[in-house]
Chains A and B, each alone.
Chain A
Amino acid sequence: MKMINSLLISLQTNIPTPVPKDLPLPLPLPEWLLIIILVISFLAHLVFVNLMLGGTLLTLWSQIKGLKDKKYDLLAKEIASTITVNKSIAVVLGVAPLLSINVLYTVYFYSANALTGLVWIAVIPLVTIAFLLTYLHKYTWKVFENNKAIHISFLGLATVILLFIPFIFLTNINLMMFPEKWAVVKGFFNAMMLPNVFPRYFHFLFASLAVTGLFLFWYMSRKNYEFENLLPGFTRYDIQKKGYSLALIASICQMLMGPIVLLTLPAKGMGWNLILVIFTGVAMALPAMWMMWKGLQASRENIGKNFYKVVTLMTITVVFMGSGRQIYRANALEPHQKLVKLRTEEFQKIKKEAIVKSKRAQAAENSADLSLADKGKKVFNQNCAACHKPKEMLVGPPVTEMATIYKDNKTDLINWIKKPGKKRPNAPQMPGFPQISDEDMSTLTEYILTINES
């Protein structure tokens, strides 16, 4: 216990940090396996999100440039055709990490979702609109040939939306790591201002550009890609150079942004394990960047010589960075998770005791020698008391009134209860009670008819 205690010291502040109960159900898989699935599937999703966003930004840039230089308009059209495919894959690949984070961090994820609720759910209509706009843009290239301003504004609007969406995700994923902030956050924009959201956003943005730069290098280098027909103003080498330059510059920006991301993270999740993983990731990226630089210096034929090495090293970097992200989360949440577990177990214990107690009480009640009137009263309480009180009108009329109407006429009363009609215009119709057994019905009506007016 001392150990937990010391771990928890850092969590004690003046703002109350909630300790909710978790769902009383086991995880479907060992935790480590779920974490692996989460990290891998999330990175796969993220790469396509990067390609979608990076592609959109480059298309916009290229099409604006194309207003003066026609060949860039063609380039924009070519990049645009990749966005819609990448976006579909991004969405479908997002389901697996979403499932995994739901199951692993139920309490944390759902709480953060609720606290940013309106903007969180706005992801759905916003992304839908952005997607529809990208299709509109893609399929109306000819229609708006002479009206470029309108055509570009479709994509511009889509870009604005797609640039905003990562804020929503980052805010949520950030907020879920800090239960100590839950009681102070009032709405999404408030949560967005927590430290670390903005640095992570720019880190993500540069990642998108770097990934897209490499993607375009590969996409336009393919042998069966009819480059000369599709992009007559460019040589393949031009595009390759552009792709590599973009990837290299964006990677350098990433390197500069990285330390800011680390420094703005609250200390509670820091640890040597995290630093080790992050720096191994950086170490993998450095030779890749060197190779890109060398490629840019090389002759036309040799620019792509090390391309697959670059991609492999960068992929390893991404895996390390993704793992680092998970390690921080695990470090940050561990003490709180322990408390949640304690609380969950405690409640289960209370529940078990309460169930035993209530069973005992029930058994005592059942074994007691009830008079006929008491038996009737029990049936009454179970089935009728919701709507009928002895002397006052509740939802239905008072019991004394029934006793008066059906005096000496038990059969009609039974029939009425089994299949009631509607008598009063100001009260709702009573539901039928065909499920009351004959014996219960008899004691019930006995009870109703003998209830004393006094």
Chain B
Amino acid sequence: MDFPMFHLDWLNNRMLIAGIATLHVIINHGLAVGFIPLVTWLEQKGLKRSGANQITDLEWDEKVYKMMKVAFIITTTIGAMTGVGIWFSASLISPSSIGSLIRVFYWAWFTEWIVFVTEVVLIMIYFLTWKNSNKSLRAKIRHIRFGWFLSLASWITMTIIVAILGFMMDPGNWNSNPNLINGFTNPLYLPQLAFRTPMAMLMAGVFGLLLATIFTKYGTEIRKDAVKSISKWIILWAPFTLFGAFWYYKAIPEGMTANMSTAVGTIDFAQYYGLLKYFIIGGVSLSVVIAVIGLFKAKVIRPYMVVLPVVFAFAFLGFFERVREFVRKPYVIGQYMYSNLLLEEDMVVYQQDGILKHATYTSVNEVTEDNKLEAGKNVFMLACSRCHTGQGVNSVVDVFERMTGTKDTLNVAIMAAYMPNMHTGRNYMPPFPGNEAEAEALAIYIRHLQDSGESIEGVQTEGVMVSSDYTVKAVINKQNKTNDNEDDK
């Protein structure tokens, strides 16, 4: 909360991170981790298909190269930039949490970065030397070996990042012993890796099937062979994906239940879990159906048929990431930092003194009779704006209207009375970080939002106000006073 608050009042702040991150994961899993081994495997198949005086089946090799070109262009542009985008968006929306994580996991990310540099160099070599390697058998074999190295590097990147993600999901370790080892040893690590790996292969298969049908002509022998090969790949990985999903699915709720202060699985959680199950089963079986058709009736498959499984596989991964993020609540870092970026251990101070008193970026530092609306706005920005908007997605007005069943006129007294206890009934909500006067001011502001339809501006357009208690002048004066007092003693 001690950062100027960037705010998107229509889109919702979390959505910005989620959109960028989900796109990144889809590209990373579908077009890097899973796709490179698929392409290398297909490239290797070209050697077996070659005639007596050929190095490789050149027509086949050309098609595989085209598939790789698509993956290369997408991963090195949208893939790479959304990766950076996760950092950028996190620094805007969630500075305290990403800042804290980097202070602790600097080395983890640094190591991941080194593997990542290796990966980029390898993908450059693999893709850019493809055509030249077709000049001799030795060069071709070496090229294929590069493909396998690259596959390994992509997978290692994932094993490290999953450890960091695993740590973030892991209950309680932050306070006792925050280090990367806990990421690798936490109960969610292996299930998550066991799910993500075959999932990546499966997605790559579906995506590969789409590309293979696009790049080959209907009725040709080469399309039939390509469809058959990739179908086999999909069928091979499907059971592993289901197994991994099942293992992971079993692992999360338990891990998260332990994380919750009150062990209630709320209605919202239950719904999401239920839906996820259908998404997983649906996504995998749709891929398998198309793969089985591809295996036995390869001729039938057309590009448009594969579009649906591709969309479904992507949707399901997106949904999976959403659930993974959602189960963290009310925390962003388990039992350390709430999703509104306030530390659990600071809560006692805020409830005692009020949050405004300790905030740097606020236009008022105390609720008075005259400033309730403005105070409420500041409290909203500090305590609610990471997850709620005024008028957009997950708007605070909407949730109160839905909850209290009052469409037209929200009741300030009811809202103010609700806030101090809301986290017990809605345990994905952090406790209200403020005193009674601030709860009332917030309620008044929410009512005002309902009446006025006003949207809330973030610092990116409005700039910041600085609390008069925490300007350089005020801090120095206070310091001098303390020193003088000490001198007097």
Contacts and interface: CB of A to CB of B under 8 A. Distances in A.
Given A18-B361, A25-B104, A98-B87, 9 more contacts: A1-B483, A17-B472, A91-B80, A93-B117, A99-B109, A107-B3, A117-B6, A128-B82, A381-B421
A185 B472 CA distance: 17
B124 A85 contact: yes
Nearest to A136: B73
Nearest to A34: B106
Contacts of A96: 110, 113
A16 B463 contact: no
A382 interface: yes
Most buried by A among B100, B426, B458, B466: B466
Nearest to B94: A110
Interface of B: 2-6, 16, 20, 73, 76-78, 80-82, 84-85, 87-89, 91-92, 95-96, 98-100, 102-104, 106-107, 109-110, 113, 116-117, 120-121, 124, 128, 262-264, 266-267, 343, 345-346, 348-349, 352-353, 358, 360-361, 402-405, 414, 417-418, 421-426, 458-468, 470-473, 475-476, 479-480, 483
A120 B92 contact: yes
Pick the 9 closest A-B CB pairs, nearest first.
Answer: A117-B460, A386-B421, A386-B425, A28-B106, A110-B95, A16-B471, A124-B85, A426-B405, A131-B77
A413 B235 CA distance: 53
Contacts of A267: none
A115 B464 contact: yes
B471 A17 contact: yes
A220 B78 CA distance: 31
Interface string A220-256: 0000000000000000000000000000000000000
Contacts of A428: 402-403, 405
A20 interface: yes
Contacts of B95: 106, 110, 113-114
Most buried by B among A22, A89, A91: A91
Contact of A351 (B263, B349, B472): B349
A305 B461 CA distance: 55
Nearest to B72: A135
A264 to B, nearest CB: 23
A117 B106 CA distance: 24
A23 interface: yes
A85 B128 contact: yes
Nearest to B461: A187
A439 to B, nearest CB: 17
A2 to B, nearest CB: 9
A23 B461 contact: no
Contacts of A22: 2
Contacts of A392: 414
A123 B20 CA distance: 13
A111 B343 CA distance: 19
Interface in A70-118: 84-85, 88-89, 91-96, 98-99, 102-103, 106-107, 109-111, 113-118
A103 to B, nearest CB: 5
A201 to B, nearest CB: 21
Nearest to A180: B472
A127 B81 contact: yes
A368 interface: no
A12 B99 CA distance: 28
A132 B73 contact: yes
19 contacts: A28-B104, A28-B107, A29-B106, A85-B128, A88-B124, A94-B84, A95-B84, A98-B87, A107-B2, A114-B3, A115-B460, A117-B460, A120-B88, A131-B81, A180-B472, A186-B463, A347-B358, A382-B424, A383-B262
B264 A95 contact: no
A26 interface: yes
Contact of B418 (A116, A132, A394, A432): A394
A18 B89 CA distance: 23
A330 interface: no
A79 B462 CA distance: 44
Most buried by A among B88, B89, B472: B472
A299 B309 CA distance: 65
A19 B360 contact: yes
A427 B405 contact: yes
B80 A339 contact: no
B99 A106 contact: yes
B81 A91 contact: yes
A99 B102 contact: yes
Contacts of B87: 95, 98, 102
A389 interface: yes
A133 B422 CA distance: 50
Nearest to B468: A16
A124 B20 contact: yes
Contact of A99 (B5, B82, B106): B106
Given A1-B479, A124-B88, A342-B479, A435 B262 contact: yes
Given A183-B466, A429-B267, A435-B262, A114 B106 contact: no
A298 interface: no
A92 B422 CA distance: 44
Given A89-B120, A106-B99, A114 B92 contact: yes
A270 interface: no
B468 to A, nearest CB: 7
A386 B417 CA distance: 7
A188 B92 CA distance: 14
Contacts of B117: 92-93
Most buried by A among B2, B88, B361, B414: B2
A354 B418 CA distance: 24
B113 A95 contact: yes
A170 interface: no
Nearest to B361: A18
A149 B422 CA distance: 62
Contacts of A347: 349, 358
